[in-house]
Amino acid sequence: MPVRRVERIMIRPGHANYLACHRYCSAARKVANATLYHMRQALFAEAPISASQADKLLKKEHKDVYQLLPSAGGATDDADSRRRLEGLARGER
C-alpha cells in the first residue's frame, strides 16, 4: 500500500489566529467523535445508520456544537459570519 504524504501546518500559540483555529478544530473534533459514537451505538444495536442519518441526528441533539462550526454559506463575505469568527478569536461563545 503506497504511503500518502500530506502537508502539516503548525499554528503555534503565538500565532495571531491560534485561538480561532484551536476553537474550530476542537468543535470539529467534538462533532466527529459524537457522530462516530452514534454510528457505533447504532451498529451495536444491529440497526446501522449512515453518516447522513448520523448528521441529521446530531443537528437535532447537538445544536450548540454545530453553531460553533462555520457553514458553507459562512464562506461568503457576510458581516455576521465575520463578527462570529472575530468573537471566537477573542474567546467569546
Report whether pLDDT(59) > 80: yes
Give the span between the Cα atoms of 93 and 89, in whole angstroms. Answer: 10
As a whole number, mean pLDDT of residues 43-47 equals: 92
Q: What's the confidence (pLDDT) of residue 8?
A: 83
